[in-house]
Amino acid sequence: MGEATFTGISSGKNGWMRVLGVDPAAAGPTGFGIVESDGRRCRMLHYGALKVTPKRQRECASAALQDVHARVCRLIEQFSPDAMAIESVFTALNMRTALKLSEVRGVILLAAAQHGVVVHSYAPREVKASVAGHGHADKRQMQLMVRALLSMNETPEPSDAADALAVALCHLQKEQARRRFGLRDEDLSLKLRSAARSAGLSAEIRPSRATRGVLPRIVSTR
């Protein structure tokens, strides 16, 4: 399990909002990333991916879930995030994969509930639109955009970790919009749709184009 931490940050948050992003996986590594922002700047604190070994998976069906739960608990206890952002289940998955993914999400949500952390869920296309500007970005594009937005010295690996950082960035952008306009979640959705209609955009590209027009740009510095 490769992990990276930016060590040049004090332990006090000093007005920064800290988000734990999680990219749950049914079979591959579950990515995680800690990102924080003061509304103008955005920086990475820690990221990595939990790879459950085949031996561990063979031991017991619940062993892998226990590992994910324990890792998320440690991250929450170590970094004290203000919120958790997690990818929702992709509806195009087959039933078996969707069920496995739901189990992983379940133990992650349990860890958040046990530590009193509020959870926000975002669809994969919504995350891609927020970070890369369109909902069809591939994994390499997402890695490069995350690196640029967070002013990282190297491309985050594996891609699961980059996806987790992207989920955290997506939530920070949405939260900035809520605070800027004083909106609730449903009001923000209406605001985005209104901006899209005003720009004469199609329904397929509304999320990305509306985000460009409404959400404040994150200036990524350390």
Given this model, what pLDDT does residue 51 score? 82
Strands 30-37 and 17-23 turn out to be antiparallel
Each domain of the chain, given as residue ranges in start order, spans 3-214
Given this model, what pLDDT does residue 202 score? 41
pLDDT per residue over 141-162, tens digit each?
Answer: 999 999 999 999 999 999 999 9
Tell me what the pLDDT averaged over the chain comes to: 79
> Strand order of the sheet with strand 118-122?
3-5, 42-50, 30-37, 17-23, 83-87, 118-122
pLDDT exceeds 50 at position 209:
no
CA triple 157-163-168, angle to 5 deg = 120
What average pLDDT does the segment 2-28 reach? 73
Helix (H) or strand (E) holding 30: strand 30-37
Q: Distance between CA atoms of 153 and 210, rounded to whole angstroms?
A: 30
What average pLDDT does the segment 15-31 reach? 91
CB count in 10 Å sphere of residue 17: 19
CA triple 6-165-1, angle to 5 deg = 70
Written as one letter, the residue type at 114 is Q
Top-ranked range on mean pLDDT: pick from 4-18, 44-58, 107-121: 107-121
Judge: domain 3-214, CATH 3.30.420.10: yes
- Catalytic center residues: 23, 87, 160
- HEC string for 48-62: EEECCCHHHHHHCCC
What average pLDDT does the segment 86-110 reach? 85
